[in-house]
Amino acid sequence: MASGVAGCTSVSYYAQALEGHVQILAARKNVGKLIHDPSTPVALRTKLTSASAIRRFATDELALPDNSSYRSYVDVGRDNVTLAVFAAPQFSLTPITWCFPVFGCVPYRGYFSQKSAVESAAELQRQGLDVYISGVTAYSTLGWFSDPLLSTMLRQDAMYLAGLIFHELAHQEIYVNGDSAFNEAFAVAVETSGVRKWLRATGNRAGLRRYEADRKRSADFLGLIAKTRDELGQIYGSPRTSQQMAAAKAAAIETLRVRYRQMRDRRWAGYSGYDAWFNAPINNAKLAATSVYGEQVPAFLRLYDLCSGDSPRFYASVRRIAALPQASRAEALRNATTCD
């Protein structure tokens, strides 16, 4: 659970966020019109047609919000719609948090400008913090605006797109201010169960096999991260000098890389999809950012099964847990034995 709050958020930060979002909203084009417009490139028309069907499935089969989100499209003209900057102390895995109106406290700051993100990261590094910058493919305004499909969301296959749409709509369904671990794990659980249901409904057995293989590798990856986090936690809690702690931290991170390569080559038959993550620098901020999205997902999926895959019942059960004090939510979720 994030506990530190890093000062005030500057006016310039809000200005860039507002400007970037307004530019995206102003560029929206209706998906239906684009599909029927003969000037729309065939490849884009095909992807938008698939996205439209996925959007209907989200409402009809997953009981996700039936609103105007993801019924328009914007070409953002870059690889990521925003960049998220994460930070954590040099010898702690507890991320720094920033607090915002509506969204509450979250363990990152989002930037539409790469220059602004890099400058923010540099300033945090000057404060002695570990920093990690991650590209963001999609984001949710929690239903305050009509979130569009973005060109960044269409870069991969329909299975990837379905996961993004289900994930972002899940944030509109349930969002708890100040509890990113809960919010993200819930959204990943909705994404995971939703993609499985969508693949079965469309008869895509080969896609389902690929998806389950991806999920297994993701669980293996998160298991590696959790083990290293535990080891680093012991290091940071030990009576060592800063120099000794830094050396032990570096050794633990190198051990993580060795474990990954062994798992990739032996267990994954050489699958290299995570190579870029491990080849790039690894620090506390990167490890903290990764754990936000993964630690509570198995508990949410177990609750979904307890609800017999009934989405409205699942959401109702999650809302009851969300209403508990933050300190009690994870335990209540983990110990749930019934849906109701």
Q: What is the per-residue pLDDT across 143-168, written as a single tens digit (0 to 9) for each?
A: 888 999 999 999 999 999 999 999 99
Q: How far apart are CA 226 and CA 232, in angstroms?
A: 10
pLDDT tens for each residue of 21-76 = 889 999 999 999 999 999 999 999 999 999 999 999 999 999 999 999 999 999 99
Reported pTM: 0.91
Start-to-end Cα distance in the chain: 26
Share of the chain above pLDDT 70, in %: 96
Which of 102-111, 136-145, 254-263 has maximum average pLDDT?
A: 254-263
For residue 20, pLDDT beyond 60: yes
Mean pLDDT (whole number) for 99-115: 85
For residue 177, pLDDT beyond 60: yes
Q: How far is CA 221 from the centre of its chain?
A: 15
Q: What is the pLDDT of residue 6?
A: 36
H or E segment to which residue 296 belongs: none
For residue 7, pLDDT beyond 60: no
Strands 149-150 and 130-136, how do they pair? unpaired
pLDDT tens for each residue of 266-308 = 999 999 999 999 999 999 999 999 887 777 899 999 999 999 9
For residue 5, pLDDT beyond 70: no
Q: What is the pLDDT of residue 161?
A: 96
For residue 217, pLDDT beyond 50: yes
User: In the chain, at which residue ranges do the beta strands (DSSP E only) sit?
Assistant: 4-5, 29-30, 72-74, 82-88, 96-100, 104-106, 109-111, 130-136, 149-150
**Sequence-separated (6 or more) residues with CB below 8 Å from residue 29:** 72, 73, 74
Hey, CA dihedral for 53, 57, 60, 65, is it positive or negative?
A: negative
Single out the residue of 166, 160, 2 nearest to residue 69, CA to CA.
Answer: 166
Confidence at 214, pLDDT banded by 50, 70, 90: very high
For residue 242, pLDDT beyond 50: yes
Mean pLDDT (whole number) for 230-243: 95
For residue 9, pLDDT beyond 60: no
Q: How far apart are CA 301 and CA 197, in angstroms?
A: 13
Greater pLDDT, 6 or 314: 314
Q: What is the pLDDT of residue 83?
A: 93
Q: What is the pLDDT of residue 4?
A: 31
Q: What is the pLDDT of residue 69?
A: 95
Q: What is the pLDDT of residue 276?
A: 96
